[in-house]
């Protein structure tokens, strides 16, 4: 007669056997293989200037952010510390101190931050006199019930929070470039708004072609997003905005869902390039929603670039091929630590830092050629 086996003993024995077989990579009927999820690999992604400027030091923005993040710092604190390097570097005239000013010669800065785990956000727009708008945006998030403060109110808020207010954030470089733009446009500058805008854009493109400006000067920004080993995701975008813009103009950078969007359970996306196209399509939000539906970061970004292309129909915004005559790029991570950089036209790049160190990588383009073709 066979010995009776108690149900409790049978369950314990079966469980141990199943675990043993699974660990050995074997499969057998009645014992499904136990799959273990790979740990999330921390990563920081950013626009290309995130691995270019060092503000006189020896580390770039993505390198600083990754080092702090993987040493235990709050992810958002690490990302902001990274972009502060670029905001404070006078050699980068697309953000922060020395950013190219508006049409009146005044530097106005925009920034937004989002904290995935806390589900909180803050932003400032048309802020004058503070070199690090990203820190003011963080102060909005941490000290108010609001998401966005702009103009004079943003400056008063910054002063109340203890930030130093400077009379002028221009450097010799940014002022020299503004004066050159002003000199070339002055004959047309005060005739009428339409002619002034057309003249300003034409001259900016001339200065770009002559090497006085870099392409990112026209829509200069830095976006930086990161995820740590715990899966905590945050993001920050900061900019001096469109070069020589109409005073008070806000682009996409301080607008949640446009220049930046973070969902702590899904991922993050941010942008550089033509802010108006991003605002119209709320691209960063759409990218995160595409990832929510299962899309890889690259595919989510390509979906949005196609949407921008389809929605760009004004003749003034189209080149000779009937395609957008502007550039726009996105920097994307998901909750698995997968990432991508995508751009409207070939030739773009993005910054990334992981356990192998900081790198500048080629962005995936939607279209071949250049915006001006």
- pLDDT at residue 37 is higher than 70: no
Question: Would you say residue 115 has pLDDT above 50?
Answer: yes
Q: Let me know if 221 is a catalytic residue.
A: yes
Per-residue pLDDT band for 38 (boundaries 50, 70, 90) equals: low
Element containing residue 134 per DSSP (H, E) = helix 133-143
pLDDT of residue 5: 44
The pLDDT value given to residue 220:
64
Mean pLDDT throughout 22-43? 51
- Rounded distance between C-alpha atoms, residue 23 and residue 142, angstroms: 46
- State the catalytic residue, choosing from 132, 185, 221, 343: 221
* Band of residue 190 on the pLDDT scale cut at 50, 70, 90: very low
Left (φ > 0), alpha (ψ -120 to 50) or beta: where does 322 sit? left
Is residue 302 scored above 80 in pLDDT?
Answer: yes
Contacts of 26 (CB under 8 A, 6+ apart): 33
* Mean pLDDT across 74-92: 97
Q: Is the pLDDT of residue 31 over 90?
A: no
pLDDT at 314 over 60: yes
Cα–Cα distance between 87 and 49 in angstroms, integer? 11
pLDDT tier at 39, thresholds 50, 70, 90: confident
Which tokens sit at 238? Answer: 């900061």
Q: Above pLDDT 90, what percent of the chain?
A: 74
- In the chain the domains, ranked by start, together with CATH numbers, are 1-36 (no CATH), 43-367 (3.60.20.30)
Q: With bands split at pLDDT 50, 70 and 90, how would you rate the model's confidence at 372? A: confident
Helix-strand-coil split of the chain, %, nearest 5? 35, 25, 40
pLDDT of residue 87 exceeding 90, the answer is yes
pLDDT, one tens digit per residue, over 255-288 is 999 999 999 999 999 999 999 999 999 999 999 9
Cα gap 174→97, rounded to integer Å: 9
Q: Is the pLDDT of residue 353 over 70?
A: yes
pLDDT higher for 1 or 274?
274
Q: How far is CA 63 from CA 24, 78, 97, 184, 250, in A?
A: 39, 10, 21, 40, 29
- Torsion angle, CA of 97/100/105/111, rounded to 10 degrees? -60
Residue with tokens 């690259």: 298
More confidently predicted of 4 and 19? 4
Instruction: Please name every residue paired with 239 in a beta bridge, in sequence order, or none if there are none.
Output: 110, 221
Q: What confidence score (pLDDT) does residue 183 get?
A: 79
Using left for φ > 0, alpha for ψ between -120 and 50, and beta otherwise, residue 246 falls in beta
Under the banding of pLDDT at 50, 70 and 90, the label for residue 243 is confident
**Residue 194 confidence class, pLDDT cut points 50, 70, 90:** low
- Confidence (pLDDT) at 6: 46
Residue 23, pLDDT score? 39
| Mean pLDDT, residues 316-335 | 95
| 286 Rama class: left (phi>0) / alpha (psi -120 to 50) / beta | alpha
Q: Environment class of residue 162 by beta-carbon count within 10 Å: exposed (0-12), middle (13-18) or buried (19+)?
A: exposed
- Provide the pLDDT confidence category of residue 180 given band limits of 50, 70 and 90: confident
Range with lowest mean pLDDT among 95-104, 205-214, 290-299: 205-214
- In the three-class reduction of DSSP (H, G, I as helix; E, B as strand; rest coil), residue 342 is classed as strand
Give the number of other CB atoms < 10 A from CB of residue 54: 16
Say what the pLDDT of residue 124 is.
Answer: 98
What is the pLDDT at residue 200? Answer: 64
Average pLDDT over residues 302-312: 98
Radius of gyration of the chain (CA): 24
Tell me 57's DSSP state. S
């Amino acid at each position: 007669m066979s010995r009776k086996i108690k149900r409790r003993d049978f369950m314990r024995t079966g469980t141990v056997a199943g675990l043993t077989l699974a660990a050995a990579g074997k499969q057998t009927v009645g014992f499904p293989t136990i799959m273990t999820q790979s740990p999330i690999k921390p990563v920081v992604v950013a626009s290309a200037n995130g691995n270019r400027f060092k503000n006189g030091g020896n580390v770039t923005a993505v390198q600083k952010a990754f080092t702090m993040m993987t040493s235990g710092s709050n992810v958002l604190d690490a990302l902001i510390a990274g972009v502060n390097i670029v905001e404070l570097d006078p050699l980068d005239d697309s953000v922060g101190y020395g950013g190219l000013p508006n049409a009146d010669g005044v530097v106005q800065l925009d920034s937004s931050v989002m904290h995935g785990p806390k589900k909180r956000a803050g932003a400032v727009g048309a802020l004058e006199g503070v070199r690090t708008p990203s820190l003011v945006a963080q102060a909005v998030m941490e000290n108010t019930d609001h998401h966005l403060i702009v103009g004079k109110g943003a400056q008063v808020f910054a002063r109340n929070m203890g930030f130093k207010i400077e009379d002028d954030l221009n450097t010799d470089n940014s002022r020299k470039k503004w004066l050159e733009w002003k000199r070339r446009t002055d004959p047309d500058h005060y005739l009428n708004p339409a002619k002034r805008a057309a003249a300003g854009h034409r001259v900016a493109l001339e200065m770009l072609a002559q090497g006085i400006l870099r392409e990112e000067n026209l829509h200069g920004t830095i976006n930086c997003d990161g995820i740590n080993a715990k899966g905590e995701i945050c993001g920050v975008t900061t900019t001096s905005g469109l070069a020589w813009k109409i005073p008070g103009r806000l682009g996409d950078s301080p607008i949640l869902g446009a220049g930046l969007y973070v969902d702590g359970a899904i991922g993050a996306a941010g942008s550089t390039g033509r802010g108006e196209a991003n605002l119209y399509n709320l691209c960063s939000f759409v990218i995160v929603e595409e990832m929510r539906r299962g899309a890889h970061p690259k595919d989510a970004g390509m979906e949005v670039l196609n949407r921008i292309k389809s929605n760009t129909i004004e003749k003034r915004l189209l080149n000779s091929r009937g395609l957008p005559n502007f550039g726009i790029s996105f920097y994307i991570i998901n909750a698995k630590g997968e990432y991508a950089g995508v751009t409207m036209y070939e030739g773009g790049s993005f910054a990334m830092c992981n356990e192998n160190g900081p790198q500048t990588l080629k962005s995936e383009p939607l279209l071949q050629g250049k915006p001006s073709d």
